[in-house]
Structure 1
Amino acid sequence: MLLTLAWGSLFFPGLFVLSTRWLRRARPEWTDHDCVMISTRVVSSAQAILATGSGIVVICSCGNVITDRGLGETWGTSLLAASSWQN
């Protein structure tokens, strides 16, 4: 999990910087605000595509997304865990 966080912490800011620099070179007539705005949208689009992909993987790997649980977890154990987290 921490490795995924580390890669995400490098990938998304890196994508932003690269797209901003590329836009400044490709479109010198655009203002910095325009380049930053487009770069922000590029990063948001990448995040949306990856989130959609992970959702599709979850849906395809579960028979019933609501009731399928991993590691033998049941409603009773998940409710018990949820109530212990609140205390």
Structure 2
Amino acid sequence: MLHTLAWGSLFFPGLFALSTWALRRARPEWTYYDCLMISTRLVSSAQAVLATGSGIIIIFHCKDVVSDRSSGENRGTSLLAASSRQN
């Protein structure tokens, strides 16, 4: 999971920086604010597509999305167990 977090921490800011840089070079007549706004929307769209894709994968690979757990998860590591320990 930390591996995925690390890649996401590099991918999304990198996509933002790359798209801002590319828009500034491709459209010099646009203001910096316009390039930032479009870059932000591009990154948000990429996040939405990836989140939707992962949701679809989960739905198709689980028999019961609410109660199915991954093979490595047990009572001690589940979110339900963690939240019940707090109470």
For 1:30 and 1:52, how far apart are their aligned partners in 2? Answer: 31
**Paired position in structure 1 for 2:31:** 31
**Paired position in structure 2 for 1:83:** 84
State percent identity of aligned pairs: 68
Unaligned runs of 5+ in 1: none
Q: 1:70 Cα shift?
A: 3.3
Normalising by structure 2, we get a TM-score of 0.83
Q: 1:78 Cα shift?
A: 6.7
Q: Could you say if the C-alpha distance between residues 16 and 81 of structure 1 is closer, same or farther in structure 2, counting changes exceeding 3 Å?
A: closer
RMSD: 2.1
Q: 1:2 Cα shift?
A: 1.0
Q: 1:82 Cα shift?
A: 2.9
**Paired position in structure 2 for 1:64:** 64
- Which letter does structure 2 place at the counterpart of 1:51? A
Q: Could you say if the C-alpha distance between residues 50 and 81 of structure 1 is closer, same or farther in structure 2, counting changes exceeding 3 Å?
A: same
Unaligned runs of 5+ in 2: none
1:2-41 aligned at under 5 Å gives the runs 2-41=2-41
Higher Cα Rg: structure 1 or 2?
1
Q: Could you say if the C-alpha distance between residues 14 and 78 of structure 1 is closer, same or farther in structure 2, counting changes exceeding 3 Å?
A: closer
